[in-house]
Structure 1
Amino acid sequence: MRFDLVPKPSTVEDRPRDVRGYPVPAITPWDGEQPQFALTDYGRSADCAQQRLCSVCNVLMPRGPVWRVVGGAESAAIAEALAAGRPYRNMAPTMEGPGHRACMLYASMVCPYLARPNARRGLTAAQPNELTEHVVRGATRGALGAVVGFADYEFAVTPSQVLFRFLDVVEFLPHDTADAHLDELRAELARGGRGPAASAG
């Protein structure tokens, strides 16, 4: 689905655009006039963490659940835990921050890497380490992605990076291709971003 046909949250509508018209997420750094989509800006990410701002639109997230988009390995682990009736506990931190439900549904559909299982990270992606091995340049997302709601998040701002940890799955919306979320995104926008009743199913 073309990105310009995906309905936008009003806060995303207000974001700066790249030359193609893609809205640029709040935590994306710029090199002159060019947003660096494969990278994360340290200061912007720290602001999002400390001030509870959405990493996509930079607007305050209310107290309560937060959402993020996850790739193949984490989606599979969450699905397995939920199917077995176990709580999902991944204590490994990530550098990918949380956001509003509508913003993450939108991001899952318009980011090529998140939207399709065979899409690859750009060649400008960060060099891998133990925290960024899931964003290795040229890596594919994997067979299953998901938009996941969590009860809350924790964070640590270190001298070199901002780390997030997510607690207690409250909603799990898996996808092969993310246009499966189109109806859910439309419904979320119609609710004004208030979200549905929390559910992990």
Structure 2
Amino acid sequence: MPPSVEARPRDSRGYPVPAITPWEDETPRFALTDYERSAECARNRLCSVCNTLMPKGPVWRVVGAAESAAIRDTLDAGRPYRNLAPTLEAPGHRACMLYASMVCPYLARPNARRGTSAETPDDMTAHVVRGAVRGELGAVVGFGDYEFAVTRSQVLFRFLDVVEFLPHDTADEHLPALRAELARAAGRSGGRQDGGQPR
């Protein structure tokens, strides 16, 4: 676990709660996104998982089957990938997204199903329905940068220039990459595995 994630507030079971997860009656709603927190993370370049600063340069996010397949096919064809469709999924550090891909049941396994539906479905969240399956291929993807827009009801992101594509069937395949990333970060920061960034 990245130290900056380990420092996050915990739920009653002891699981760290991502920065953009809303709380209701002192209980985190893991399947939902808090609008204000997501907007703050976007505006201040904060990781959506650990809530610490993301340095200039690449950002990462976890993508599901459809986008993973599109990225894979585009890269295999030797073309640049550019998806102009906005998403509600916010970016984070490489280590945080590798970790998130392994601990979130929906992201980790191809047969995992969503536990809850979006509260107010619209065009962007119509697929977020209870029982939906992740699908065969997931990935942790690094992008050169991101753009965002804060509307009255949503925070929308677009990601530019794929710089790393780490596909997985089951996300525990990323454990060696996560360990290596944490070791690199510890070396850069003189022992602090969060890159020396403020918590």
Q: Normalized against structure 1, the TM-score is what?
A: 0.90
Q: How does 1:107-186 map to 2 (within 5 A)?
A: 107-186=100-179
Matched AA of 2:138:
G
SS class of match (1:169): strand
Identity of aligned residues (%): 79
In the alignment, the residues of structure 2 paired with residue 135 and residue 89 of structure 1 have an alpha-carbon distance, to the nearest angstrom, of 23
Q: Deviations over 1:104-153 (max 9, x none)?
A: 00000000000001111112544432211342222111100000000000
Aligned positions, number: 187
Q: Normalized against structure 2, the TM-score is what?
A: 0.91
In the alignment, the residues of structure 1 paired with residue 113 and residue 148 of structure 2 have an alpha-carbon distance, to the nearest angstrom, of 27
From 7, 11, 16, the equivalent of 2:9 is 16
Q: Aligned-pair distance for 1:19?
A: 1.5
Q: Which runs of 5+ in 1 are unaligned?
A: 1-7, 195-201
Matched AA of 1:31:
E
Q: Deviations over 1:57-105 (max 9, x none)?
A: 0000000000000000000000000000011111110111000000000
From 44, 58, 75, the equivalent of 1:51 is 44
Q: How does 1:82-101 map to 2 (within 5 A)?
A: 82-101=75-94
Q: Deviations over 1:9-43 (max 9, x none)?
A: 01000001111221110000000111001110000
In the alignment, the residues of structure 2 paired with residue 137 and residue 71 of structure 1 have an alpha-carbon distance, to the nearest angstrom, of 16
Contact 2:47–2:53 at 8 Å: present in 1 too? yes
From 71, 75, 86, the equivalent of 2:68 is 75
SS class of match (1:133): coil
Contact 1:126–1:137 at 8 Å: present in 2 too? no
Q: Which runs of 5+ in 2 are unaligned?
A: 189-199
In the alignment, the residues of structure 2 paired with residue 124 and residue 135 of structure 1 have an alpha-carbon distance, to the nearest angstrom, of 5
Q: Which runs of 4+ in 1 moved over 3 A?
A: 124-128
